[in-house]
Amino acid sequence: MEKVIPEILEFISTHDNYLLTTHQNADGDAYASILAVANFLEKKGKEYQIVIHDEKKDSKYEFLWGWEKIRKFSNEGREDNEAAIILDVPSKSRIGDPAKLLPPVDRCIKIDHHPGEENISKINLVDTSASSTCQLIYEVFSRSDIKFDFNLSNLLFSGIMYD
């Protein structure tokens, strides 16, 4: 993990336009992790879009910061993503339709606490001993220069608690 985190932070600093996505039938850790990364990217002045497969979002998570930024995949979606951060998902097939928007593997990061099933990213932070993807995201963010405010802290705590 110690070697991968600086790679992730460097990757984020070198790209400006991201796709954020997670697994089908998103749960609390999935929603919180994509929104925590979105919050982080905003603090870094980066652009992003959050696209999930699910037809309907689970409204019990609508209290999370950035909830309104999550959208369902459509064929009219932006395909010009410079890079992608794939969260809480072990394989491309579990992403569903948003996988069609992924840039090439060398411009993707995957952060997950499930065992990997296939190579879908250049940089992988996968730790099956972690409680949640949000726990791993916390490890990355705590080594950056950003400040943890209420929204970011709430997102990370929520993801850890829901998983």
Note the pLDDT tens digit of each residue in 15-46. Answer: 999 999 999 999 999 999 999 999 999 999 99
Per-residue model confidence (pLDDT) at position 77? 57
Please name the residue ranges forming H helices in 23-149. Answer: 28-43, 92-95, 133-141
In this structure, how many other beta carbons lie within 10 angstroms of the beta carbon of residue 102? 20
Cα–Cα dist 77/118, whole Å: 25
Q: In the chain, which ranges are E strands?
A: 17-21, 47-52, 70-72, 83-87, 108-112, 123-126
Nearest alpha carbon to residue 33 among 146, 139, 145, 149: 139
Q: What pLDDT is attached to residue 76?
A: 60
Residue 145 pLDDT = 95
Q: Are 50 and 71 in contact (CB under 8 A)?
A: yes
What confidence score (pLDDT) does residue 81 get?
Answer: 82
Q: pLDDT tens for residues 78-136?
A: 667 899 999 999 999 999 999 999 999 999 999 999 987 788 999 999 999 999 999 99
pLDDT value, residue 105? 95
